[in-house]
Every structure is written in structure tokens, then in C-alpha cells.
Amino acid sequence: MSQLRKQPANQTIFLLLIILFIEILIDLPIRLSYLYENQVLIQTGGFCMFWNWIASVLNIIGLHLMAFASIERHFFIFNSQFHARHRFLLSIIPMIVSVIYPLAFYTGTVFGSW
């Protein structure tokens, strides 16, 4: 299992699995409670803003990582020599940007007017 995790071709998929697992752990209980009781679990503006923020951030991070993983798979299959030489530029930086950009954007968007 540790060898699979260390392979460059699988790192984006593992990060995607972790992000989606966190999304399920946080968003699903709140959403199920809302759908079952027809009211928000904690009825405050701050909680609703947090719920909107966390759902949006985790969803967009998952979408960015999925898109990046498909592009990265293309590089691994068709341009393996080029990808091996530019691994940091083509693998590490896009993963970091895929996580940091949605965090910064939705923090400013959701909490900017609060």
C-alpha cells in the first residue's frame, strides 16, 4: 500500500480520495439532518455561512483535482519522459494550486461580506 501511495501516478488520486472523504464526513450529516427535519441543524447565520463555505470549497477542490488527474494521466501515458523531467512543475504545483485557490476564493467570497 505504501508503494502505491508513493508512485507519482497515484498521488493525485489519493489526495482526491482524502478530500472527498472529508467532504462526506462533514457535509453528509448536516445535509441529511436538514433533509430529515426540514430545518438547519444550528440556526445561525455563521453556521449557514460555514456550511456553504465548506461544501463549496470541498466540492470545487474535488472538481479541480479530478480535472487535473485526467490531464496528468495523459502526460503519464503519452509524455512520460517530459513528465519525468518536469515532475515538480507538472504534478506538485497544480495539486497545491487546486487546494489553495478554492480555499482563498471561497473564503473571500463567503466571508468577505460578513
Domain extents for the chain? 2-111
DSSP letter at 38?
S
Q: Count of alpha carbons within 13 Å of 14, Cβ hemisphere only?
A: 11
Q: Give the pLDDT confidence score for residue 92 in this predicted structure.
A: 83
Q: CA-CA distance, 33 to 63, in Å (whole number)? A: 25
Q: CA-CA distance, 65 to 19, in Å (whole number)? A: 9
Helix (H) or strand (E) holding 86: none
Q: CA-CA distance, 56 to 109, in Å (whole number)? A: 11
Mean pLDDT by 10 residues, the chain (114 residues): 66 92 94 92 90 94 93 76 67 88 93 79
Q: In 10 A of CB 98, how many CB atoms?
A: 23
The pTM assigned to this predicted structure is 0.82
Instruction: Please state the φ and ψ torsions of residue 79, each to the nearest 5 degrees.
Output: -130, 55
